[in-house]
Amino acid sequence: MNLIRRNLPGALVVGIPVLWIALFMLLPYGIIVTYSFWLKKYPTFVPAFQFGNYVTIFTDPQYLQVFLRTLKISILVSIASFLLAYPFAYYLVFRCRSAALRTWLYMAVIAPLWVSYLLRAYIWKTILGTEGVLNSFLISVGIIDQPSDIFLYNQFAMVVTLTYIFIPFMVMPIYTALEKIPVNLSEASADLGMGPWRSFWHVTLPLSLPGVAAGFTLTFCLSFGDFIAPFLVGGPDGNLIANVIATQFGAALNWPLGSALAIVMLVVVLTIVSLSDRMERKGMVGGH
Amino acid sequence: MAAIIELENISKHYSPTIIGVDDVSVTVEDGEFVTLLGPSGCGKSTLLRMIGGFEEPTGGAIRLAGKDVTWDPPYKREVNMVFQDYALFPHMTVGQNVAYGLKTLKLNRAEVADRVKDALSLVGLYDKVDQRPQQLSGGQRQRIALARAIVRRPKVLLLDEPLSALDAKLREQMQIELKHLHEKVGITFIMVTHDQTEALVMSDRVVVMERGKIAQQGKPQDLYDHPASPYVANFIGTTTFLPGKVSKCTGGKVTVATGGAMFEAETDHSYSPGKVVTVGLRPEKVRFLAEGETAANTITGKIAEVIYYGLGLRIAVTLSDGATVYADMLLPDRLSHSKLPEIGTPTRIAIEPHNVFVFEGNVAP
């Protein structure tokens, strides 16, 4: 009795989250895994234990194609975010003299996260559409004379939209990593004969790699599972894996295949996360 | 000897009212060990950083071996710096850290390996070549930073408070090591410190700085024995200051009357009687008189406090006007075998006239 009473607060602190995770994460995963072995039988599906759904995914070229497309889009989004975020974070940490401006610019990157995701994706519809801001601008400066529909409903629009939505997740870890680098390391590098570019290449960049790895992991995984942007700005060839999964659970009414797709997707994402984690641990990127 | 560094009227004004360094001119001879000494905020680090190229002066010129380098970036100057917290690259091994500065020198592999080995052997840490800096102790990191800075064979080595992060015992040991290293490599050293002992032990010449200006420069013993101002006397060593008035001044001797005593001092100035001056007394130069003993500058007072510091005693003596003079008493025997002065007892102390400092004005810092 005494033992229970003494351990009760600890048990509660640990127990509630464990229960929560079990109920709302592990259990649903279990259900999805179970479903992935079931059999589609018109009009619904029946319990079974067979690998037919997985075989379909890896043999039917249309699923492979969607996987590759999703991979391509996610990689492009990660790269685009990196190319924009790194110089920005670098400027904020090392070049921005005014602390007020730095805070203000950093908040400007973070602030969109407080706005509804749907709204942020929708913004690009109004920017890139035929009646949109971009077309009006191009017409007003005389570059084109008819509104063009080449900007919206394609993979380009999707990459632009996803980059805009997920770039804070690239800026934040890079900013944090750069901020942790002592200024005197670049001074030491300059002192030892290296110009600014070589100092950056040999000292600043390697030391910021943990942040870059974290940023890539976050933006990649978030884009990999996205299904709103393809839906809003993606167009006919813009279906991503998450859209296909949504369809299987909706219109197609093929939960077993949808579950199997979700499991494959989960494996891909978990692989990426554990790879980046291991890279960081091995100290390949940065010191301790 | 030729001048290796010439600082000519160097100033660093952050704004018209915030002045880091104000019109400083210093010449450093080739092979010299010069220390910039002063409290924090006196401009010594800024001056060093301007020599290194990390900050630009707002006025004046810096010459390195006769060549104007005032506006050269750090990577174009043949000087190297040992940073205060070492600034070793955490993502590189000790060997890579030391070899880093050789990348731009276009040496072949064997030469790089040789130079790294020489530099690390010089500081006795070649066996740590494959370790990461964060695996080493503070003293070892300090030596790696030294090896990394001298491996390029710079004309001048800059040291920014190199020993401040070490504990007292190690600091003492490193002072001697650095001094020996300086003798061995023959490079000019310019060090910044706020620690007067460090400056006295290691340097050929000390430049004492006060609020962006040079207060005094010279050999350690000259600064200690002939401080130009109460500021210097107070910063280097310990000094008791007593305000007084000149009562007589003839033939290199001046007599000053303070509230509680008369002091005779040697001087090369001539003071007119009645002039306000300040007398400075070093505790270790003041001695206690035995019963019946007579001496110049005998002062009577009462023992107010006895401070034990191992090597000896520092005793506060209150004079008749309430002023306090500190006097040191060495303990040749253990404390338990010494006859200790008791608080409240009357006592007589004395100081030789050639040991008394006289400064113009009522200028106790």
pLDDT tens digit string along B155-173? 999 999 999 888 888 899 9
User: Which residue numbers in chain B have pLDDT < 70?
Assistant: 1
Q: Which two tokens stand for residue A199?
A: 């100092």
> Edge-to-edge, what's the strand order for the sheet holding B33-37?
B79-82, B156-160, B188-193, B33-37, B205-210, B213-218
Rounded to whole angstroms, the Cα distance separating B90 from B131 reads: 10
- Closest CB to B101: pick one of A192, A286, A288: A192
Residue A218: pLDDT band (50, 70, 90) is very high
- Taking the Cβ of residue B109 and every Cβ of chain A, the question of whether any pair is shorter than 8 Å is answered with no
Partner-chain contact B100 A189, CB within 8 Å: yes
Q: Over 50: is that where the pLDDT of A288 sits?
A: no
Q: Name the 3-class secondary structure at B189.
A: strand
Average pLDDT over residues A229-243: 85
- Closest CB to B134: pick one of A182, A194, A287: A287
Q: Over 50: is that where the pLDDT of A270 sits?
A: yes
CA distance to partner chain B, nearest, from residue A240 (Å): 39
Q: Which residues of A touch B104 (CB under 8 A)?
A: 192-194, 198
Cis peptide before A43 (omega within 30 of 0): yes
Interface test with B, best of A97, A191, A282 (most B CBs within 10 A): A191
pLDDT tens digit string along B201-260? 999 999 999 999 999 999 999 999 999 999 999 999 999 999 999 998 888 899 999 988
Q: Which residues of B touch A197 (CB under 8 A)?
A: none
Q: Over 70: is that where the pLDDT of A286 sits?
A: no
Q: Which residues of B touch A187 (CB under 8 A)?
A: 54, 74, 81, 83, 87
pLDDT tens digit string along A40-86? 887 788 888 888 899 999 999 989 899 999 999 999 999 999 999 99
Partner-chain contact B74 A187, CB within 8 Å: yes
- Closest CB to A187: pick one of B87, B132, B152: B87
Residue A1: pLDDT band (50, 70, 90) is low
Rounded to whole angstroms, the Cα distance separating A218 from B284 reads: 68
Q: Over 90: is that where the pLDDT of A221 sits?
A: yes
Which amino acid makes up residue B59? Answer: G
Beta-carbon count within 10 A of A129 CB: 18
The CATH fold of domain B238-360: OB fold (Dihydrolipoamide Acetyltransferase, E2P) (2.40.50)
- Closest CB to A191: pick one of B80, B103, B134: B80
Rounded to whole angstroms, the Cα distance separating B131 from B114 reads: 18
Collect all residues with Cβ–Cβ distance below 8 Å to B271 and sequence separation of at least 6: B246, B249, B254, B277, B358, B360
Residue A283: pLDDT band (50, 70, 90) is low
Which CATH architecture describes the domain A54-281? Orthogonal Bundle (1.10)
Q: Name the 3-class secondary structure at B360.
A: strand
Bridge partner residues of A41 (DSSP): A44
User: Please, what is the average pLDDT of chain A?
Assistant: 89
Rounded to whole angstroms, the Cα distance separating B132 from B135 reads: 6
CA distance to partner chain A, nearest, from residue B336 (Å): 52
Collect all residues with Cβ–Cβ distance below 8 Å to B222 and sequence separation of at least 6: none
Q: Which residues of B touch A288 (CB under 8 A)?
A: 90, 134
Structure confidence at residue A172 (pLDDT): 96
Average pLDDT over residues A143-153: 82
Of the listed ranges A5-9, A102-106, B205-209, B315-319, the least confidently predicted one is A5-9
- Taking the Cβ of residue B141 and every Cβ of chain A, the question of whether any pair is shorter than 8 Å is answered with no
Closest alpha carbon to B158 in B199, B191, B183, B187: B191
Average pLDDT over residues A94-104: 92
Burial of A41 (0-12, 13-18, 19+ CB in 10 A): exposed
Partner-chain contact B90 A203, CB within 8 Å: no
Chain B residue closest in CA terms to A203: B89
Say which residue the tokens 């039917």 belong to. Answer: A60
Structure confidence at residue A136 (pLDDT): 86
Partner-chain contact A184 B87, CB within 8 Å: yes
Per-domain residue ranges of chain B: 3-234, 238-360
Q: Over 70: is that where the pLDDT of A30 sits?
A: yes
Q: Which residues of B touch A287 (CB under 8 A)?
A: 90-91, 132, 134
CATH code of domain B3-234:
3.40.50.300
Q: Which residues of A touch B53 (CB under 8 A)?
A: 190-191
Q: Which residues of A touch B134 (CB under 8 A)?
A: 287-288
Q: What is the ipTM of this complex?
A: 0.85
CA distance to partner chain B, nearest, from residue A100 (Å): 20
In chain B, residues 45-104 whose CB comes closer than 8 Å to chain A: 52-54, 73-75, 79-81, 83-85, 87-91, 100-101, 103-104
Cβ atoms of residues A179 and A100 within 8 Å? no
Q: Which residues of A touch B79 (CB under 8 A)?
A: 191
